[in-house]
């Protein structure tokens, strides 16, 4: 709690005085990001500052000028020369108790509170809690009380314990806690003092003594205390360690009051992407990667339905000794790369880009082959953003072809060739990055026979593309050439000189469905709209991915965990979630990307007995 | 010179009745926790009295009237019937009847939607929900995706860990935070929002109140039990023993070197978690062989602790510790020194001895001792940094997890300072993250360049070895508003000092034992939980204070507008607010209006009719439809939460766009980002909770 607890005393000679003061010190507020200074740990500062003070003549060096001179003090209004400190390492707080706060501003506040608490702001009966304060000087809960002392005027002395806070509401909210606990401390002091008082009184009753004594102003004080004007709290309570006790008690109150009420705040579940990351994380800790393989083919609803009842149809998990990408990273860090999705679109041309993204989002295998590893990797990385993380199974670099059930993104060495069965039966698209003919004679173009067929369907979109690019990307050679030009590397020459030597060839035996899935259409729209910065595009992708993953979740629950469903119902469901027929394939593929945690949770929730009737 | 008169008002709340202690306590608790609300009423009373004073013909009658009003308000505040089962809070704490709760909620929800979300009722449900979601923004935090949690269970909801961390390092008042949540004072600009459901048909109004109590959210508060800890502390004679430097009775007791951080962290780790322990040692190497001359692996209760370069420690401490004259130190130090001297000769098998030693912490009491200790601790820290932890094969994955978690903050900051390439961390901005582990700071503060470099080097090595695990599991980043919305203004600034108080050499005293966690219970009672006290049920008259209530009152508007005005003047949050609003849902006319203190200046009615947002309408439709397909209620609610989360993501996109754009037009915005115009109010309000800079666009 950001409060200061202080013990004050109304001294017979000097009036209201601060006796003792316990304050917490915590690290400074974290600096806003961007400031270069590393946050320093205040406990450390505190510790080291302890040593910074020269040992000799500590007294004079330490007591600041604003504190009253020795003449104004007596034992009654002194507490400790040497303070106490405790470090709470867990919370990074140090509690320091000293006679007075040494910060002038704080001192003024406490002093003000002290005076008010022992003069004007007094509870009826002069013993008990009271609240006063304002926003300037802070808010104060003051508990005044008497401690018996045979030597004192009226046989008792008047003290107060203050809790000073700037936060009024917090202070008042804590009242029901603070008051009883202050009472405990006070009662303990009173009990100790009562013991001494009774003993002294038994030895030498004060009352008759005082009645007899001839009192005049000059000898009034001397008569009672002997040579001493007033006795210290230690003496009155007969406890040498009374201030240590107070230190511990006050700091306990501060700490306990701060942690008395805790709150529980719920937050949303982590995104599927985060969970996937965590799941991958767990695997790699062992030094391998587990690849979650799920059936990609046969991914139509009917098939899924037939599987629905097989509880826990866990896909076989395959563990591949995963070669760290480490070595690869080193050599070509500064080499060519496709930086972002717009860059890729420029490099590929709009139509090819769209076709390629279409392949990506419906789960066809993407094979990127080329000599430049970094370039291959960057292309894959950019394409990955189109998919939820759970759907990305990547082998960034391989010397031989890997089956599509192992990866849907494959970086392939150009020396490798595709096996025959792959060429004939698999759903894949091959992107070859080759040096331009003029620059290298050996371009391993085995597949440049079939070119992307989808350019035809995009005619209507083409119109918008032309519009936008004529508006915003006039520096680039005419947009019409995108579609016709097959050696696409030429296009980006001015902007991306790095890549000018390369050609991107795309080929695929797979014919794409005529219609682009809804989500992809929206993504492409965002990419096409040059008014949007890359950050916005990224945010839009996140939105869309999450939105569609939510549909996928519903579908998953519906088909896998909901018992038998009729065709009719399924259709209805698709309609409800706002999916059209062209989205079906995508939904089925994305379903493979659901995290294991989610699947298990859903399947468990709908296990027999839990099924909604 | 004019003489100014002073008026004072004293209000007496029923006196202490011995016979009815329980009631008295309850009221007292209620009074102090709801003080802000009481104060608002007092302010109202005060201003009426001021006016009455200047109009002194009617002084007394006016005052009596104001007093009557005050009394009624307070009576209402204390006595009104509360919602028996606020859905959100009940679900949050329920463990057993969750399914039942979900079913009940979904049934009511679908019933209302089917019945009233149609053209005849002007799409009442979606309109009302749009308004409520726009004004009571506390739901946003509850759908903001959590960072990764190491927990294996997929919970449909997670408790936010950052709140705990925040509470430890920056104590704040959870009650106040809860109040802010409830009144929707979450975003920028800061608003205080209330909702009134008006209607003659009590059962329908009650149904709406029930459903809305799911969407008007707040955190749940718990109270720690308070065993008689303080009594023990105050009366415990142990104080004499452990604190006094001169007592001899503790010769047999382990002495404590406060300084050496590693020791402390050992101590910690044995008791609570391994985080501290491992976080302080920055390096993990799987393959490095322990060098027996310099590096010892310290096993402590089966936990791997940082091993220390002991020879250096040995060299260091002996020459410095001998000349110390202090009495206390002479007594305590010799055994320690001998222990340390012996250590380098230990074969590794005896290493546990050292760990025992390190648990014993020598408390240095005197200044000279302190000097030794500071250098010692520096030395130790350096050693720790440079030494390496030996991690065996069979170690549990947990340790690694902790390691990666607690290292993150530290690594990244160090790496930045020493220009080593920082590994990208997915999704987490460390700078904005409340640090998860308490141990990291010690390392950070070693800002000695050389150390940092050494560390960075080590870090890199460790990256090399542990790279697959190098991943940030830390908590989700706290939004800037999130941080300030938990804490009251006054606790952020003024008492955090700039410079440090000069210290006299203080005696160090051990922390008292903490409150045991034996009992932390949820505060169900309405007297200390705003979530239970400010959601009222159906009442025959309009009520001033409640976040949500239903009423059959037809003539409430003047009072409501009056309330809005006084709320702005005397904010119940004790912080300035920009606007006070109230959603008025009329189940007789099927209209939803939002009354606002701002609009009052423009039009006398102070109200603007609200329209349904497309996103919300879609959400409702989809939830109800899938529930009709007989999906389980729990799943329907999960879906509902997912859809709310989508709104959060959309607002993110919007704020991303707006921060990039210099100017924008509404039309452009909607066409480009694919929002409907009707969604803008909602999305802007949501965006205000995570991107405070957007308020300028709001006014535009």
User: pLDDT digit string (tens) for B107-154?
Assistant: 999 999 999 998 999 999 999 999 999 999 999 988 888 765 444 334
**Quick count: other Cβ atoms within 10 Å of Cβ A362?**
24
Cβ of residue A258 closer than 8 Å to a chain B Cβ: yes
Give the residue, A322 or B217, on which the prediction is more confident. B217
The pLDDT value recorded for residue B31 is 93
Percent of chain B with pLDDT over 70: 52
Give the residue, B352 or A95, on which the prediction is more confident. A95
Residues of A in contact with B239 (CB under 8 A): 241, 244-245, 248
A80-94, A133-147, A374-388, A562-576: lowest mean pLDDT where? A562-576
Quote the CA–CA distance of B66 and B659 in Å, as a whole number: 49
Quote the CA–CA distance of B492 and A30 in Å, as a whole number: 11
3-state secondary structure of B46: helix
The pLDDT value recorded for residue A597 is 77
| Cβ–Cβ gap B445/A284 under 8 Å | no
Residue with tokens 């909702």: B195
The pLDDT value recorded for residue B505 is 62
The pLDDT value recorded for residue B632 is 87
Q: B407: closest CA among B393, B396, B422? A: B422
User: CA-nearest residue of chain B to A565?
Assistant: B629
Nearest to B159 among A50, A266, A595 (CB): A266
| Cβ–Cβ gap B631/A241 under 8 Å | no
A274: confidence class by pLDDT, cuts 50, 70, 90: confident
Give the residue, A147 or A414, on which the prediction is more confident. A147
| Mean pLDDT of the region A449-453 | 36
Cβ of residue A176 closer than 8 Å to a chain B Cβ: yes
Nearest to B511 among A82, A86, A184 (CB): A86
Angle in degrees, 0-180, between the axes of helices A350-361 and A341-348, rounded to the nearest 10 = 120
Residues of B in contact with A274 (CB under 8 A): 145-148, 427
Is pLDDT at A439 greater than 90 in this prediction? no
Residues of B in contact with A27 (CB under 8 A): 169, 441
Side-chain-facing half-sphere of A7: CA atoms under 13 Å:
31
The pLDDT value recorded for residue A284 is 55
The pLDDT value recorded for residue A414 is 85
Assign 3-class secondary structure to B73-90. Answer: HHHHHHHCCECCCCHHHH
Q: In angstroms, what separates the C-alpha of B475 from chain A's closest C-alpha? A: 11
SS3 breakdown of chain B: % helix, strand, coil, rounded to 5?
55, 10, 35
Q: B641: closest CA among B658, B623, B655, B659? A: B623
Is pLDDT at B597 greater than 70 in this prediction? yes
A327: confidence class by pLDDT, cuts 50, 70, 90: very low
The pLDDT value recorded for residue A311 is 37
| Cβ–Cβ gap B468/A263 under 8 Å | no
**pLDDT digit string, tens, across residues B476-529:** 344 444 555 666 665 544 344 434 444 556 778 877 765 554 455 556 676 778
Q: What are phi and psi of B118, to 5 degrees?
A: -140, 180
Is pLDDT at A140 greater than 60 in this prediction? yes
Q: What are phi and psi of A93, to 5 degrees?
A: -125, 140
A8: confidence class by pLDDT, cuts 50, 70, 90: very high
Quote the CA–CA distance of B285 and B287 in Å, as a whole number: 6
Is pLDDT at B248 greater than 80 in this prediction? no
| Cβ–Cβ gap B502/A284 under 8 Å | no
Assign 3-class secondary structure to B485-521. Answer: HHCCHHHHCCCCCCCCCCCCCCEECCCCCCCCCCCEE
3-state secondary structure of B580: strand
Quote the CA–CA distance of B689 and B143 in Å, as a whole number: 12
Highest mean pLDDT (candidates A366-375, A599-608, B583-592): B583-592
Give the tokens for residue B194. 């209330």
Mean pLDDT (chain B) is: 65
Instruction: Tell me the whole-structure pTM to 2 decimals.
Output: 0.72
Give the residue, A576 or B125, on which the prediction is more confident. B125
Give the residue, B667 or A232, on which the prediction is more confident. A232
Q: What are phi and psi of A432, to 5 degrees?
A: -105, 130
Q: Are A389 and A593 in contact (CB under 8 A)?
A: yes
B232: confidence class by pLDDT, cuts 50, 70, 90: confident
| Cβ–Cβ gap A550/B639 under 8 Å | yes
For residue B5, what are the CA distances in angstroms to A68, A240, B52, B61?
A: 38, 52, 14, 20
Say if residue A413 is exposed, middle or buried (CB neighbours under 10 Å; 0-12, 13-18, 19+). middle
Nearest to A248 among B178, B239, B490 (CB): B239
User: CA-nearest residue of chain A to B428?
Assistant: A274
Side-chain-facing half-sphere of B165: CA atoms under 13 Å:
17
Predicted complex ipTM: 0.75
**Quick count: other Cβ atoms within 10 Å of Cβ B151?**
10
CB pairs under 8 A between A and B: 423
Assign 3-class secondary structure to B4-37. Answer: CCCCCCCCCCCCCCHHHHHHHHHHHHHHHHCHHH
Cβ of residue B102 closer than 8 Å to a chain A Cβ: no
Cβ of residue B499 closer than 8 Å to a chain A Cβ: yes
Q: A291: closest CA among A556, A555, A561, A592? A: A592
For residue B619, what are the CA distances in angstroms to A196, A584, B125, B127, B655?
A: 74, 21, 12, 12, 21
Residues of A in contact with B633 (CB under 8 A): 612
Domain A335-436+498-512 has CATH 3.40.190.10: no
Give the tokens for residue A277. 């990351």
Residues of A in contact with B504 (CB under 8 A): 53, 58, 62, 81-83, 98
B residues 614-673 near A, CB within 8 Å?
Answer: 618, 621-622, 625-626, 629-635, 638-639, 641-643, 645-646, 648-650, 652-653, 656-657, 660, 668, 672-673
Quote the CA–CA distance of A369 and A444 in Å, as a whole number: 10
Give the residue, A188 or A104, on which the prediction is more confident. A188
Q: Where are the alpha helices (DSSP H) in B661-676?
A: 666-673
Q: Best interface-test mutation with A: which of B183, B396, B468, B472 has the largest number of A CBs within 10 A?
A: B468
Is pLDDT at A243 greater than 80 in this prediction? yes
User: CA-nearest residue of chain A to B154?
Assistant: A597
Q: State whether the Cα torsion B329-B330-B335-B337 is positive or negative.
A: positive
B225: confidence class by pLDDT, cuts 50, 70, 90: low
Give the residue, A528 or B211, on which the prediction is more confident. B211
B436 Cβ contact list (under 8 Å, min separation 6): B161, B165, B275, B405, B406, B408, B409, B474, B475
Percent of chain A with pLDDT over 90: 18
A residues 290-329 near B, CB within 8 Å?
Answer: 324, 326
Q: In angstroms, what separates the C-alpha of A53 from chain B's closest C-alpha? A: 7
Q: Are B654 and B675 in contact (CB under 8 A)?
A: yes
- Please, which residues bridge with residue A15 across strands? A11
Q: Are B381 and B443 in contact (CB under 8 A)?
A: yes
The pLDDT value recorded for residue A214 is 63
Rg of chain A (C-alpha set) = 40
DSSP state of B257: B
Strands (E), A340-457: 365-370, 394-398, 409-412, 428-435
Highest mean pLDDT (candidates A283-292, B182-191, B422-431, B691-700): B182-191
The pLDDT value recorded for residue B674 is 76
3-state secondary structure of A132: strand
**pLDDT digit string, tens, across residues B398-455:** 322 222 222 222 222 222 222 222 233 333 333 223 332 323 222 223 233 333 333 3
Q: State whether the Cα torsion B330-B332-B337-B339 is positive or negative.
A: positive
Nearest to A267 among B146, B488, B515 (CB): B146
A226: confidence class by pLDDT, cuts 50, 70, 90: low
Give the tokens for residue A414. 């150009």
The pLDDT value recorded for residue B527 is 74
The pLDDT value recorded for residue B69 is 92
3-state secondary structure of B682: helix
Quote the CA–CA distance of A358 and A508 in Å, as a whole number: 12
**pLDDT digit string, tens, across residues B657-680:** 888 776 666 776 777 777 888 898
Angle in degrees, 0-180, between the axes of helices B633-660 and B98-116, rounded to the nearest 10 = 70
Quote the CA–CA distance of B389 and B400 in Å, as a whole number: 12
Residue A88: which H helix or E strand, with range? Answer: strand A84-88
The pLDDT value recorded for residue B534 is 93
- Using alpha carbons only, give the angle A69, A74, A78 rounded to the nearest 5 degrees: 85
Distance of CA A47 to the CA centre of its chain: 29
B366 Cβ contact list (under 8 Å, min separation 6): B245, B324, B326, B328, B329, B505
The pLDDT value recorded for residue B581 is 94
Residues of A in contact with B657 (CB under 8 A): 532-533, 536, 539
DSSP state of A316: P
Backbone angle region of B284, left / alpha / beta, with phi > 0 → left and psi within -120 to 50 → alpha: beta
Angle in degrees, 0-180, between the axes of helices A584-591 and A534-560, rounded to the nearest 10 = 80
A153-162, A334-343, B192-201: lowest mean pLDDT where? A334-343
Residue with tokens 């007075």: A100
Q: Are B314 and B341 in contact (CB under 8 A)?
A: yes
B248 Cβ contact list (under 8 Å, min separation 6): B331
| Cβ–Cβ gap B506/A50 under 8 Å | yes
Is pLDDT at A465 greater than 90 in this prediction? no
Q: Exposed e or buried b for every residue in B333-359, given b needs 16+ CB within 10 A? A: beebeeebeebeeeeeeebeebbebbb
Q: Are B135 and B583 in contact (CB under 8 A)?
A: yes
Say if residue B10 is exposed, middle or buried (CB neighbours under 10 Å; 0-12, 13-18, 19+). exposed
The pLDDT value recorded for residue A347 is 86
């Amino acid at each position: 709690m950001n409060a200061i607890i202080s013990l004050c005393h109304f001294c017979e000679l000097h009036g209201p005085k601060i006796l003792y003061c316990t304050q917490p010190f915590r690290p400074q507020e974290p600096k806003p990001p961007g400031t270069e200074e590393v946050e320093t740990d205040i406990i450390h500062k505190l510790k080291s500052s302890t040593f910074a003070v020269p040992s000799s003549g500590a007294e004079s060096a330490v007591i600041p000028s604003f504190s009253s001179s020795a003449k104004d003090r007596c034992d009654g209004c002194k507490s400790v020369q040497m303070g106490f400190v405790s470090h709470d390492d867990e919370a990074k707080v140090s509690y320091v108790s000293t006679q007075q706060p040494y910060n002038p501003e704080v001192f003024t506040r406490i002093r003000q509170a002290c005076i008010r608490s022992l003069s004007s702001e007094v509870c009826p009966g002069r013993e008990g809690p009271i609240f006063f304060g304002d926003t300037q000087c802070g808010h104060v809960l003051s508990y005044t009380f008497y401690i018996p002392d045979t030597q004192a005027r009226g046989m008792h002395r008047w003290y107060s314990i203050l809790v000073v806070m700037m936060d009024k509401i917090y202070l008042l909210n804590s009242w029901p806690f603070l008051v009883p606990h202050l009472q405990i401390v006070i009662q303990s002091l009173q009990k100790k003092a009562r013991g001494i008082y009774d003993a002294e009184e038994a030895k030498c009753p004060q009352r008759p003594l005082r009645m007899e004594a001839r009192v005049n102003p000059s000898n009034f004080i001397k008569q009672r205390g002997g040579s001493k004007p007033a006795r210290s709290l230690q003496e009155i309570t007969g406890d040498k360690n009374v201030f240590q006790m107070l230190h511990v008690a006050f700091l306990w109150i501060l700490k306990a009051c701060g942690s008395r009420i805790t709150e529980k705040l719920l937050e949303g579940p982590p995104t599927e992407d985060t969970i996937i990351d965590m799941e991958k994380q767990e695997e790699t800790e062992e030094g391998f990667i587990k690849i979650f393989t799920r059936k990609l083919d046969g991914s139509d609803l009917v098939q899924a339905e037939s599987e629905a009842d097989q509880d826990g149809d866990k896909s076989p998990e395959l563990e591949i000794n995963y070669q760290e990408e480490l070595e690869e990273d080193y050599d070509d860090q500064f080499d060519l790369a496709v930086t972002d999705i717009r860059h890729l679109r420029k490099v590929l041309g709009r139509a090819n880009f769209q076709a390629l993204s279409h392949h990506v989002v419906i789960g066809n295998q993407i094979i990127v082959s080329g000599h430049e590893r970094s370039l291959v990797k960057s292309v894959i990385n950019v394409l990955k953003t189109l998919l939820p993380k759970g759907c990305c199974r990547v082998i960034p670099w391989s010397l031989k072809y890997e089956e599509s059930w192992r990866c849907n993104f494959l970086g392939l060495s150009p020396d490798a060739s595709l096996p025959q069965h792959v060429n004939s039966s698999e759903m894949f698209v091959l992107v070859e990055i080759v040096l331009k003919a003029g620059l290298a004679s050996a371009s391993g173009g085995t597949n440049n026979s079939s070119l992307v067929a989808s350019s035809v369907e995009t005619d209507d979109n083409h119109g918008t593309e032309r519009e936008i690019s004529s508006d915003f990307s006039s520096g680039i050679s005419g947009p019409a050439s995108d579609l016709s030009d097959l050696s696409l590397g030429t296009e980006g020459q001015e902007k991306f000189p790095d890549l000018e030597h390369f050609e991107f060839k795309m080929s695929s035996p797979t014919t794409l469905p005529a219609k682009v899935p809804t989500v992809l259409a929206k993504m492409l729209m965002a990419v096409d709209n040059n008014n949007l910065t890359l950050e916005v595009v990224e945010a839009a992708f996140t939105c869309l991915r999450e939105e569609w993953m939510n549909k996928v979740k519903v579908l998953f629950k519906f088909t896998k965990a909901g018992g038998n469903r009729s065709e009719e119902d399924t259709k209805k469901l698709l309609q409800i979630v706002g999916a059209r027929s062209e989205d079906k394939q995508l939904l089925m593929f994305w379903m493979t990307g659901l995290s294991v945690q989610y699947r298990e949770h859903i399947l468990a929730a709908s296990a027999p007995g839990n099924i909604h009737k | 010179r004019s003489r100014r008169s002073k008026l004072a008002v004293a209000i007496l709340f029923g006196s202490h009745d011995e016979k009815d202690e329980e009631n008295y306590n309850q009221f007292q608790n209620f009074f102090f926790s709801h003080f802000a609300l009481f104060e608002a009423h007092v302010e109202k009373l005060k201003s009426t009295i001021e006016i009455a004073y200047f109009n002194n013909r009617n002084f007394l009658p006016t005052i009596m009237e104001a007093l009557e009003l005050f009394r009624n308000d307070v009576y209402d505040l204390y006595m009104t019937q509360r919602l028996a089962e606020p859905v959100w809070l009940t679900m949050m704490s329920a463990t057993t009847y969750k399914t039942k709760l979900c079913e009940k909620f979904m049934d009511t929800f679908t019933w209302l939607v089917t019945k009233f979300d149609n053209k005849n009722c002007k799409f009442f449900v979606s309109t009302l929900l749009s308004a409520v979601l726009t004004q009571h923004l506390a739901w946003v935090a509850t759908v903001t995706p959590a960072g990764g949690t190491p927990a294996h269970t997929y919970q449909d909801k997670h408790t936010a860990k950052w709140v705990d961390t925040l509470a430890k390092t920056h104590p704040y008042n959870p009650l106040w935070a809860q109040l802010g949540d409830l009144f929707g004072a979450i975003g920028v600009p800061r608003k205080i929002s209330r909702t009134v459901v008006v209607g003659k048909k009590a059962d329908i109004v009650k149904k709406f109140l029930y459903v809305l109590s799911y969407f008007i959210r707040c955190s749940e508060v718990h109270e720690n039990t308070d065993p008689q800890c303080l009594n023990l502390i105050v009366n415990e004679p142990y104080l004499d023993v452990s604190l006094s430097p001169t007592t001899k009775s503790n010769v047999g007791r382990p002495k404590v070197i406060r300084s050496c951080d590693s020791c402390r962290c050992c101590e910690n780790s044995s008791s609570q978690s391994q985080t501290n322990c491992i976080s302080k040692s920055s390096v993990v190497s799987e393959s490095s062989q322990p060098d027996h001359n310099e590096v010892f692996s310290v096993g402590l209760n089966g936990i791997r602790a940082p091993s220390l370069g002991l020879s250096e420690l040995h060299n260091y401490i002996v020459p410095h510790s001998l000349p110390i004259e202090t009495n206390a130190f002479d007594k305590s130090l010799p055994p320690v020194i001998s222990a340390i001297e012996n250590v380098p000769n230990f074969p590794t098998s005896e290493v546990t001895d050292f760990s025992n030693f390190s648990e014993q912490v020598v408390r240095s009491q005197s200044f000279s001792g302190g000097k030794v200790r500071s250098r010692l601790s520096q030395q130790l820290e350096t050693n720790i940094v440079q030494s390496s932890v030996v991690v065996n094969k069979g170690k549990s994955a947990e340790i690694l997890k902790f390691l990666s978690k607690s290292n993150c903050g530290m690594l990244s900051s160090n790496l930045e300072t020493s220009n080593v390439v920082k590994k990208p961390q997915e999704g987490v901005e460390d700078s904005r993250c409340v640090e998860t582990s308490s141990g990291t700071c010690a390392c950070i503060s070693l800002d000695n360049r050389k150390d940092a470099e050494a560390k960075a080097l080590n870090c890199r090595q460790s990256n090399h070895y542990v790279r697959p695990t190098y991943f940030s599991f830390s908590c989700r980043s706290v939004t800037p508003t999130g941080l300030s919305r938990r804490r009251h203004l006054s606790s952020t600034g003024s008492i955090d000092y700039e410079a440090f108080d000069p210290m006299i050499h203080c005696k160090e005293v051990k922390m008292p034992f903490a409150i045991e966690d034996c009992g932390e219970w949820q505060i169900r009672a309405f007297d200390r939980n705003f979530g239970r006290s400010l959601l009222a049920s159906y009442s025959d008259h309009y009520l001033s204070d409640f976040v949500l209530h239903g009423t059959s009152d037809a003539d409430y508007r003047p009072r409501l507008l009056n309330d809005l005005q006084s709320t702005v003047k005397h904010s119940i949050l004790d912080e300035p607010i920009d606007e006070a609003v109230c959603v008025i849902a009329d189940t007789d006319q099927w209209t939803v209006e939002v009354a606002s203190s701002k609009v009052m200046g423009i039009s006398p009615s102070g109200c603007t009719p609200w329209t349904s947002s497309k996103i919300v309408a879609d959400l409702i439709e989809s939830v109800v439809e899938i529930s009709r397909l007989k999906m389980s209620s729990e799943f329907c609610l999960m879906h509902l939460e997912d859809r709310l989360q989508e709104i959060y993501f959309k607002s993110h996109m919007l704020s991303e766009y707006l921060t990039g754009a210099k100017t924008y037009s509404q039309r452009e915005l909607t066409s480009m980002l694919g929002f409907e115009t009707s969604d803008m109010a909602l999305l802007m309000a949501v965006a205000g909770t995570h991107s405070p800079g957007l308020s300028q666009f709001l006014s535009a």
